[in-house]
């Protein structure tokens, strides 16, 4: 998973506790009321020198928790090792690449409807977002983050994506795009991104550890959100 994200990972110490909850009752008691609409949550606590604890809470009364929720949350825990301040779009967007293909397609649908309705953020605003948006903007935020990350992965692979996510914070979006991708500015990236939304390149990347897709599966809107950074 770390390799797919573009970096090398040493063994975790402390280990990551994965808590399987048999029902929503103990899950909500652990993650809090804000987690009521989620199925999984990751929490990394830091000390001065490094990471004090890693924990993932997962509802195991959901059919696909091993292949859907767990990989997504593991990605958040992993990325916390890479950088304590990865921008939200990159942290969430990369984790979403490990969602099942059918969930990724739902995010893509959310993205397209948010672009049509005008709820999608301007690209530069997304890249510099510091807090999760209000709940009504989650579909746009998740859909857009997944899509922009996919576009950048296609432009330069995972190592460059992580370099960009860090460099944009110190040097600004435009300078980081010029240096790493040879793009003029955020507007130029927006052009490439919109191009990537046309045709087959909008197909989700196969990073997910997915079982075969069952086309009949129906997922409730909002069932794929987590609280990686909200706790």
Task: Please report how close the Cβ of residue 42 comes to Zn ion at its closest, in angstroms.
Answer: 7
Task: Please report how close the Cβ of residue 179 comes to Zn ion at its closest, in angstroms.
Answer: 28
Nearer to Zn ion, 57 or 226 (CB): 226
Listed in sequence order, the residues at least 6 apart from 191 whose beta carbon sits closer than 8 Å to its beta carbon are none
For CA atoms 60, 2, 202, 37, the dihedral sign is positive
Nearer to Zn ion, 56 or 177 (CB): 56
Q: Would you call 17 helix, strand, or coil by DSSP? A: strand
Of all helices (H) and strands (E), which one includes residue 52? strand 51-59
Nearer to Zn ion, 108 or 226 (CB): 226
Residues that bind Zn ion (CB under 5 A): 92, 95, 226, 228
Of all helices (H) and strands (E), which one includes residue 45? strand 40-46
Nearer to Zn ion, 111 or 186 (CB): 111
Nearer to Zn ion, 139 or 176 (CB): 139
Strands 40-46 and 51-59, sheet pairing: antiparallel
Q: Are 104 and 69 in contact (CB under 8 A)?
A: no
Q: Are 92 and 130 in contact (CB under 8 A)?
A: no
């Amino acid at each position: 998973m770390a390799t797919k994200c573009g970096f090398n990972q040493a063994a975790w110490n402390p280990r990551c506790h994965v808590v399987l909850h048999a029902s929503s009752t103990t899950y909500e008691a652990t993650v809090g009321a804000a987690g009521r609409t989620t199925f999984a949550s990751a929490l990394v606590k830091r000390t001065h020198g490094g990471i004090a604890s890693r924990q993932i809470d997962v509802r195991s009364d959901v059919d696909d928790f091993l292949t859907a929720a767990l990989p997504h949350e593991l990605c958040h825990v992993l990325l916390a090792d890479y950088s304590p301040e990865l921008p939200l779009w990159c942290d969430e967007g990369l984790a979403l690449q490990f969602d099942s293909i059918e969930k990724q397609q739902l995010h893509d649908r959310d993205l397209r409807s948010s672009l049509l309705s005008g709820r999608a953020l301007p690209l530069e605003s997304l890249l510099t977002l510091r807090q999760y948006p209000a709940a009504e903007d989650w579909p746009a935020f998740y859909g857009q983050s997944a899509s922009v990350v996919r576009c950048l992965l296609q432009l330069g692979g995972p190592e460059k994506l992580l370099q960009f996510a860090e460099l944009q914070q110190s040097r600004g979006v435009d300078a980081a795009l010029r240096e790493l991708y040879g793009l003029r500015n955020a507007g130029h990236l927006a052009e490439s991104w919109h191009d990537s939304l046309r045709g087959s390149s909008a197909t989700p990347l196969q990073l997910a550890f997915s079982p075969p897709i069952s086309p009949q599966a129906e997922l409730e809107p909002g069932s794929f959100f987590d609280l990686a950074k909200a706790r």
